[in-house]
A and B are shown apart, each in its own frame.
Chain A
Amino acid sequence: MAVFNLNVNGKKRKVDVDPDTPMLWVLRDHLNLVGTKFGCGIAQCGACTIHADGNAIRSCSTPISAVGDMEIVTIEGLSPNGNHPVQEAWIEHDVPQCGYCQAGQIMNAAAFLKKNPNPSKEEITSAMSGNICRCGTYTRINAAIQTASKKS
């Protein structure tokens, strides 16, 4: 066990865990931030996507020891009131079905749009293909990202 000082959603958080503990389980089990989801554990589905210094990363495969003082943002901290342009577009397009993968989809989309504010449809589908939606809401996800790109 070791003590780590994290910067999560703009707050300093201290946790005492094994250094190999993935950020996913630090967030879910130790910081009670359960919006980040467990899907595969091997960075294949994107359900656990969070931001580290603005980059979308797979928290299931990122040990806490690799995080250091990076600014971590989870779905709970993406915006103060669920009003990030991507979140608003998600509501406008009524994207979710079961909803389980959507936090990861939103985090991936938000990081992508920050780097590429006016993406083509091809760039969107390519950037979002690491995130599985088992319900098949992909067409709505893409429409929402297009809407968000116009707003942001």
Chain B
Amino acid sequence: MKLNKGMNRRNFLKVSAASGTGLVIGFNWLAGCTPTNPEMSVPKSWTDINAYIKVADNGLVTIFSPNPEIGQNIKTAMPLIVAEELDVDWKKVIVEQADLNTIKYNRQVAGGSQSIRASWDGLRQAGATAKHMLRQAAANQWKIDISEVNTEGGELINAKTGDKLDYGDVAVAAASLPIPEDVKLKDVKDFKLIGTHVKNVDGEKIITGQPLFGIDYNREGQVIAMLIHAPAFGMKLKSYDAEAAKAMPGVDDVFVVDTSLEEPQWSDVNAFNELIVITGQTTWQVMKAKKAVNAEWEAVTPLENSDEHFAKLLDGVERQKGRVLREDGNIDAALQGAAKVVEKTYTAPFLAHNTMEPMNFFAHVTPDKAELVGPIQTPESLRGTIMKVLGMNEDQVTIAMTRMGGGFGRRLYGNFGLEATLISKKVGKPVKLIYTREDDMTQGTYRPAYRVKYTAGLDENNNLVAFKAKAAGIPGSPLFPDRFPAGTVDNYKGEGVNIDTNISTGAWRAPRSNFIAGAEQSFIDEVAEASGKDPIDFRLELFDRAINNPVGENNDYDAARYAGVLKLVKEKANWGQDMPGVSRGVAAYYCHNSYVAQVVDVVMKNNEPVVQKVWCAVDCGIVVNKEGAINQIEGGIIDGIGHAMYSQLTFKDGKPEQENFHQYDLIRNVQTPEIEAFFVENDIHPTGLGEPSLPPVIGALANALYKATGTRFYNQPFTKAKQADEILVG
């Protein structure tokens, strides 16, 4: 196996030189680390073995978690993979969040459910390489061959004599050894930690309220900054009067910053570049002063409305010529010749991310460096933007990643980091920028609004012979043309329509899938019903077709794994068994390289449908940490049900009509179902898990609601949008 970053000799030497020495003396592990075995003594010295691992003289091991933590629990899972290959007792491990360091680490991004998948090999290698060096050091001390040194739980064992050494005993010697070019990784069957239930490494700190989040970070001498952005998309600042605000106690200054960039990158999405900034001593004083600023805004581009969005999506799907994304066979002829045709349309509104921790960032800019601390899913991209705007080099800009109070895609876009930086540059002091909830909810970077129309044809034997999808988004088509049911049907056509907007949008947990999966799986349910077949059997027939004789060559899913999760959920949920009073819906979907199938049980209480239970089967390859994995699955399901049922962001004259949680409904505890998750067991390298359980549950929910109420739910949010057919076809 080839060496990855962090272990390459030249890179590693650079790293050691940058930190002054490979040996860090007197590091206080009690101050910055996870609780560990209290029986162990405080270490006197630490030795860097590689970019991921340092070993203390007493055998404690620090493992650095390279990626940003947004609640997806990679701060536990990534070090766990290193520890597995290192063969260290998890109780001896301290986990530390690494800072942004692109010399040491790859892809320090929280996004696309790719942290584990992209780093699986590298993390294993980091552990295995270090273990090899520790074994070699022990072999040298014992004057035996390395093959005679075994490891267990952070100890080295002489196979001949049974003598033991601790990793701490040989760490210094190991660090000076040549880095092996080729190390053997464990057999999956020998895993001891991977696949077990391991608790969140920050759990103790979270439940005792320790400072972990960006908003908790404070620096001596800092000023608090808050912003006023335009109240509506399409508006810019005309004039403002801040005299009253400036005179208020604790207020330092009120001024305007311009955050527009000459060459913005994808992560610089931002509709509001001209901002009124209020700086002062305490958050409440600045918050009050913010309300005392009188600003006038003017429209510079059209002010959009939700009614108009609905009409544009309708026009896009019904009347615009879409871009053909995939075409198999002859869709028109197949539909003409079909014995039955089903055609339905589905819609979903804009959504805000609404992370519980509002956007915030700390920045301290001096003439020769910029120091940033805060919650960011894309620290490397943010650094690139800061370097450009300040004219600094990479080594002049540092970013420390704090634990994030939620991400869901919002913190891929680091405008708040740029804003904090420019404010600090202007005031010449350390700055902590905080958004109010209203600032956060009305700032943008929303999930786009979508509409899709599906048309399916069945032959006289009720086999699917034609499938057409035309999907529009404001902005961007949500269709994945090479996903199911493409590949299972001879005649297929997928078309996408883009509709521009001045509202800023971006990735929102399981982008595009968060809409299209629910729509597709609701539609498949209706087609299965028209065919007179059981909805699971109907899908399994299609997967059989894709397994035995797939249509087209670009299908991006494995039909056997897809069928596998459906069969597993069918078995676990006892699908087909009569359950009095329970109405069931099913769905399956593939995204982020993982497969999920779900059964949703709905019961009627006081004439209202209540989601009682969700059964969920997942194939994400090897499950690294079962506890964290199940937690992610549960969270995705609750997130999907919540947004499909209750949430929407609507616009009037460019202004978001929901500004805080009294207007924007998020799912609450009492609305939450019981959830049971099951994994397909295999040895396939791990794939995504932060997102895949969300998309299909919306389909399974709609299908169960139909069984319970007799109404098909086409338009989200299900509890608020009209479901009548006439508005669907316009």
Cross-chain contact B634 with A137 (CB below 8 angstroms): yes
Cross-chain contact A90 with B282 (CB below 8 angstroms): no
A66 touches B (CB below 8 Å): no
B468 touches A (CB below 8 Å): no
Cross-chain contact A35 with B284 (CB below 8 angstroms): no
B654 touches A (CB below 8 Å): no
B609 touches A (CB below 8 Å): no
Q: Mark B542-574, 1 if CB is under 8 A from A, else 0.
A: 000000000000000000000000000000000
Given A98-B404, A100-B356, A134-B355: A22 in contact with B284 (beta carbons within 8 A):
yes
Given A37-B215, A87-B207: A136 in contact with B660 (beta carbons within 8 A):
no
Min distance, Cβ A33 to any Cβ of chain B, angstroms: 7
Min distance, Cβ A14 to any Cβ of chain B, angstroms: 16
Q: Mark B190-230, 1 if CB is under 8 A from A, else 0.
A: 00000001011011101111111101101000001000000
Q: Mark A111-127, 1 if CB is under 8 A from B, else 0.
A: 00000000000001110
In the complex, chain A residues whose CB is within 8 Å of the CB of B71? 96-99, 135
Partner pick for A30 among B282, B627, B639, CB 8 A cutoff: B282
Query: A63–B212 Cα gap in the complex (Å)?
Result: 26
In the complex, chain A residues whose CB is within 8 Å of the CB of B434? 38
B326 touches A (CB below 8 Å): no
Q: Which residue of A lies closest to B405 (CB)?
A: A100
In the complex, chain A residues whose CB is within 8 Å of the CB of B405? 37, 98-101
Which one of B48-56, B301-309, B667-675 contacts A? Answer: B667-675
List B428-443 residues whose CB lies under 8 Å from chain A: 434, 436-437
Given A34-B209, A35-B210, A87-B207: A94 in contact with B631 (beta carbons within 8 A):
yes
Cross-chain contact B206 with A25 (CB below 8 angstroms): no
Min distance, Cβ A26 to any Cβ of chain B, angstroms: 8
Query: A21–B642 Cα gap in the complex (Å)?
Result: 34
Partner pick for A140 among B207, B634, B671, CB 8 A cutoff: B634
Given A98-B405, A125-B669: A36 in contact with B209 (beta carbons within 8 A):
yes
Q: Which residue of A lies closest to B360 (CB)?
A: A38
B638 touches A (CB below 8 Å): yes
Q: Which residue of A lies closest to B282 (CB)?
A: A29
Min distance, Cβ A122 to any Cβ of chain B, angstroms: 8
List A29-71 residues whose CB lies under 8 Å from chain B: 29-30, 32-42, 44-45, 47
In the complex, chain B residues whose CB is within 8 Å of the CB of A149? none
Cross-chain contact B669 with A100 (CB below 8 angstroms): no
Q: Which residue of A lies closest to B614 (CB)?
A: A139
B403 touches A (CB below 8 Å): yes
Given A90-B207, A100-B357: A134 in contact with B202 (beta carbons within 8 A):
no
B122 touches A (CB below 8 Å): no
Q: Which residue of A lies closest to B202 (CB)?
A: A99
B285 touches A (CB below 8 Å): yes
Min distance, Cβ B439 to any Cβ of chain A, angstroms: 11
In the complex, chain A residues whose CB is within 8 Å of the CB of B672? 125, 136, 138-139, 142
Cross-chain contact B675 with A139 (CB below 8 angstroms): yes
Partner pick for A137 among B249, B631, B666, B670, CB 8 A cutoff: B631
In the complex, chain A residues whose CB is within 8 Å of the CB of B357? 37, 39, 98, 100
Min distance, Cβ A38 to any Cβ of chain B, angstroms: 7
In the complex, chain A residues whose CB is within 8 Å of the CB of B206? 96, 99, 102-103
How many residues on chain B are close to A (CB under 8 Å)?
Answer: 67
Cross-chain contact A94 with B662 (CB below 8 angstroms): no
In the complex, chain A residues whose CB is within 8 Å of the CB of B642? 136
Given A22-B284, A38-B215: A138 in contact with B406 (beta carbons within 8 A):
no
Q: Which residue of A lies closest to B216 (CB)?
A: A34
Cross-chain contact A91 with B207 (CB below 8 angstroms): yes
In the complex, chain A residues whose CB is within 8 Å of the CB of B165? none
Q: Mark B68-104, 1 if CB is under 8 A from A, else 0.
A: 0011110000000000000000000000000000000
Query: A42–B358 Cα gap in the complex (Å)?
Result: 14
Given A36-B209, A42-B661, A94-B199: A101 in contact with B356 (beta carbons within 8 A):
yes
Partner pick for A134 among B208, B285, B356, B631, CB 8 A cutoff: B356
Cross-chain contact B354 with A134 (CB below 8 angstroms): yes
B174 touches A (CB below 8 Å): no
Partner pick for A34 among B211, B404, B675, CB 8 A cutoff: B211
In the complex, chain B residues whose CB is within 8 Å of the CB of A94? 197, 199-200, 203, 627-628, 631
Q: Mark B415-439, 1 if CB is under 8 A from A, else 0.
A: 0000000000000000000101100
Query: A106–B208 Cα gap in the complex (Å)?
Result: 10
Given A126-B670, A134-B666: A75 in contact with B406 (beta carbons within 8 A):
no
Q: Which residue of B lies closest to A32 (CB)?
A: B218
Cross-chain contact A40 with B437 (CB below 8 angstroms): yes
Query: A105–B638 Cα gap in the complex (Å)?
Result: 17
Partner pick for A141 among B73, B208, B639, B669, CB 8 A cutoff: B669
A6 touches B (CB below 8 Å): no
Query: A36–B355 Cα gap in the complex (Å)?
Result: 16
Q: Mark B88-131, 1 if CB is under 8 A from A, else 0.
A: 00000000000000000000000000000000000000000000
List B660-697 residues whose CB lies under 8 Å from chain A: 660-662, 666-675
Q: Which residue of A lies closest to B667 (CB)?
A: A136
Min distance, Cβ A97 to any Cβ of chain B, angstroms: 4
List B157-209 residues whose CB lies under 8 Å from chain A: 197, 199-200, 202-204, 206-209
Interface centre among A22, A94, A103 (most CB of B within 10 A): A94
Min distance, Cβ A125 to any Cβ of chain B, angstroms: 4
Chosen A-B contacts, 6 in total, with CB atoms closer than 8 Å, are A18-B288, A28-B283, A91-B203, A96-B203, A129-B670, A136-B635
Which of B's residues lie within 8 Å of A, judged by CB? 70-73, 197, 199-200, 202-204, 206-213, 215-216, 218, 224, 249, 282-285, 287-288, 354-358, 403-408, 434, 436-437, 627-628, 631-632, 634-639, 642, 660-662, 666-675
Which of A's residues lie within 8 Å of B, judged by CB? 1, 17-18, 20-22, 25, 28-30, 32-42, 44-45, 47, 74-76, 78, 82, 87, 90-91, 94, 96-103, 106, 124-126, 128-142
With A99-B403, A138-B668 already in contact, 4 other A-B pairs whose C-beta atoms are closer than 8 Å: A39-B661, A42-B437, A96-B202, A102-B206
9 smallest A-B Cβ distances: which pairs? A35-B209, A98-B71, A136-B638, A100-B405, A75-B209, A99-B206, A97-B71, A44-B661, A136-B635
